[in-house]
Amino acid sequence: MPGVSRIGAFVHRQRDSPLEQLTGSIVALVTPMHDDGSVDYPALRRLIDWHIDEGTDCLGVVGTTGESPTVDVEEHCEIIRVSVEQAKGRVPVMAGCGANSTKEAIELAKFAKGVGADSQLQVVPYYNKPTQEGQYQHFKAIAEAVGDLPIVLYNVPGRTVADMAHDTVLRLTQVPGIIGIKEATGNIERAQWLIRDVPKNFAVYSGDDPTAVALMLCGGQGNISVTANIAPRKMHELCVAALAGDVKRAMQIQFELMPLHRNLFVEPNPIPLKWAMARLGLCGGALRLPLTELGEASCPAVEGALRATGLLKN
């Protein structure tokens, strides 16, 4: 990919200490954009400050919600750099470094490590449909190259087509540097088997807002959340309650947030989310092709969810 070779030029700063086990609400942060499609870095900085004020426990940047498929490599790197710079160590930054090229994933991870990210999110390679052995070798190679930047695996077969099998995850838990997984299938039975079988120091995070509370109550460590983009305080409180085993409080908040969990996915993420954020004045609603603005028929559902959760009052 053009520009990948430039990544190494930015790698200069060593991380000071290993990442302690992360728990709680990890926002899958949007990448704000101007109407012309360029990245709106001032808006990104404002969002980061707002999330920290609202209690978000970690910033997950340049993932699917951050439109990683359409930002170029230089932008991808700059979003990570700006996010780390703006966070100023107040909360950890989990940098999306995934690619369907192992070499590119390693180079992105080296960059993220160099600018001070606290961990890396590595998605199952998409489109080229690697076998289970191919997935294992992909993540093992990344860990061998950049395992001192802790790796969170990301399994989302609804987007990647390739699905990381339970036994493959268990093999990868034995690879130094791989510390957790974002389990985004929404299958709670599957999540329970993972939580049951992985080592105690290996974290299982939800990547599915509707079922995240259940995963945490079963022993998961947190939620990498789309909903947290517009309801960060509530998502933080939900995670606190669920992780403490306070079922009553966790479900009270879950019931409040359910309209968002459902209607932020009436069209592919982050289309409804960007519309909602623009409606709330958090950032512009611009997206990059092939994503297009929210369809007129879908707007009432998203607006209704914002009103049902009290985010819009007028």
Which candidate in 110, 113, 140, 182 is catalytic?
Answer: 182
Q: What is the pLDDT of residue 242?
A: 98
The string of pLDDT tens digits covering residues 132-159 is 999 999 999 999 999 999 999 999 999 9
Indicate if 154 belongs to the active site: yes
Average pLDDT for residues 58-67, to the nearest whole number?
Answer: 97
Helix residue spans in the chain (DSSP H): 41-54, 73-87, 102-115, 132-146, 157-160, 166-172, 188-197, 209-217, 232-243, 247-263, 271-279, 299-308
pLDDT score, position 21: 63
Q: What is the pLDDT of residue 314?
A: 72
Judge whether 182 counts as a catalytic residue: yes
Measured between alpha carbons, how far is 87 from 197 in angstroms, rounded to an integer?
Answer: 34
Average pLDDT, the chain: 93
Please check whether residue 255 is in contact with residue 288, taking contact to mean a CB–CB distance below 8 angstroms. no
pLDDT at 16 over 80: no
pLDDT exceeds 60 at position 14: no
- The stretch 258-262 carries a mean pLDDT of 98
Prediction pTM value: 0.93
Confidence of residue 7 (pLDDT cuts 50, 70, 90): very low
Q: Which of 136, 154, 234, 274 is catalytic?
A: 154
User: Is residue 3 predicted with pLDDT exceeding 90?
Assistant: no
